[in-house]
């Protein structure tokens, strides 16, 4: 029994010795890295890799801000034009006590369609309109969306049609005044270049247009020069207004259908747009003033073209 116990003891000693010699010898550096890989610790990240968040943010989509879904129209004629042309786009109506009876039909529409309307004093109307030129009537409506010019290009063009294009007209008041002249002379469409210098359709532009915003079809072009080239291919005459042009408006030969292009208040037409014009014309004056305001010049040109159309139809 004693011999057996000793042999077992020797065997266990030998086994332990084998286990000890079979263990790999690791440097101190590796043993540190190995010990750091325990379940309760994190492995060091390479310096050139960005840490990955455990809970990456979920990309969310949001509805358009309320201000982008609504458009404020103020001024008596502008508000009446909205009601007469697209009453379904009205969201809210505000008015002065003096305009209450004149807006009886608008109030009935609001009652029928459960739309809010309210009579306000002058101070409150100023806050709602953000302008003192509200003339006692303010409407919050859904904004009109500008159609791509490609839609206009796909349509057949009337043989006596007159269209307008704006090349970086930057003042919203000028835009509104041009819209008013376009409506007065029956312009078939107004094209706006999609340029950062081009005035956008704002509440003040709608006020200056005196309701013409609801009457004139409006289109937008990402590249006005290319759009004018496409109109030329459709046999549309392109005439540009240029204060430095040698041709007088009254002497120039202009055929129909045509597009009148007016440019920036300070820089005029861009060179790319000039190259697309069949003719460049100026409105002659007494030379005491270099040029007309762009909206006034537009009215003069449209009046002359309207006169020519009426003569040719006789």
* Predicted confidence band of residue 289 (pLDDT cuts 50, 70, 90): confident
Q: Confirm whether 67-141 and 147-312 share one CATH topology.
A: no
Peptide bond into 257 cis (omega under 30): yes
Lowest mean pLDDT among 9-13, 113-117, 235-239: 9-13
Read off the tokens for 44: 């060091």
Mean pLDDT, the chain, rounded, equals 85
- pTM of the complete model: 0.78
DSSP 229-274: HHHHHTT-EEEEE-TT-SEETTTS---SSEEEEEEBTTTBS-HHHH
Band the pLDDT of 11: cuts 50, 70, 90. very low
Give the tens place of pLDDT for each residue, 143-159: 999 999 999 999 999 99
pLDDT tens digits for range 236-249: 999 999 999 999 99
pLDDT of the residue at 44: 55
Name which of 53-62, 226-235, 287-296 the model is least confident about.
53-62
Q: What are phi and psi of 304, to 5 degrees?
A: -65, -40
Which residues lie below 8 Å from residue 106, measured CB to CB, with a gap of 6+? 83, 90, 93, 117
Find the distance separating the first CA and the last CA of the chain, reported in whole Å: 141
- Of the pLDDT bands very low, low, confident and very high (cuts 50, 70, 90), residue 25 is low
Structure-model confidence comparison of residues 150 and 35, the more confident one: 150
**Angle at 147 (CA atoms; ends 142, 151), nearest 5 degrees:** 150
**What's the confidence (pLDDT) of residue 194?**
87
CATH class as words, domain 147-312? alpha beta
Domain boundaries, the chain: 67-141, 147-312
Percentage with pLDDT > 70 across the chain: 78
Does the pLDDT of residue 24 top 80, yes or no? no
Q: Could you tell me which of 248, 305, 242, 240 has the C-alpha nearest to residue 277?
A: 240
The CATH homologous superfamily of the domain defined by 67-141:
Ribosomal protein L30/S12 (3.30.1330.30)
């Amino acid at each position: 029994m004693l011999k057996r116990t000793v042999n077992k003891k020797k065997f266990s000693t030998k086994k332990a010795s084998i286990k000890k010699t079979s263990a790999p010898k690791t440097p101190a550096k590796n043993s540190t890295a190995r010990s750091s890989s325990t379940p309760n610790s994190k492995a060091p990240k390479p310096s050139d890799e960005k840490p990955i968040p455990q809970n990456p943010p979920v990309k969310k989509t949001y509805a358009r801000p309320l201000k982008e879904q609504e458009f404020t129209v103020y001024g008596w004629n502008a508000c009446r034009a909205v009601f007469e042309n697209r009453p379904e786009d009205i969201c809210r109506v505000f008015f002065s006590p003096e305009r209450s009876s004149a807006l009886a039909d608008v109030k009935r529409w609001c009652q029928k369609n459960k739309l809010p309307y309210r009579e306000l004093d002058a101070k409150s109307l100023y806050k709602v309109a953000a302008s003192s030129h509200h003339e006692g009537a303010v409407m919050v409506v859904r904004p009109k969306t500008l159609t791509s010019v490609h839609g206009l290009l796909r349509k057949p063009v009337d043989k006596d049609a007159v269209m307008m294009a704006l090349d970086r007209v930057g003042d919203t008041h000028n835009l509104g005044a041009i819209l008013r002249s376009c409506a007065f002379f029956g312009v078939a469409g107004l094209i706006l270049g999609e340029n950062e210098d081009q005035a956008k359709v704002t509440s003040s532009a709608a006020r200056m247009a005196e309701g013409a915003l609801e009457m004139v079809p409006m289109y937008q072009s990402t590249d006005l020069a290319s759009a004018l080239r496409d109109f030329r291919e459709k046999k549309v005459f392109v005439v540009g207004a240029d204060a430095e042009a040698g041709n007088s408006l009254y002497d120039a030969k202009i055929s129909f259908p045509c597009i009148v292009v007016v440019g920036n208040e300070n820089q005029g037409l861009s060179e790319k747009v000039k190259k697309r014009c069949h003719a460049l014309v100026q409105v002659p004056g007494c030379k005491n003033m270099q040029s007309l305001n762009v909206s006034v010049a537009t009215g003069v040109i449209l009046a002359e073209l309207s006169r020519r159309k009426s003569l040719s139809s006789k």
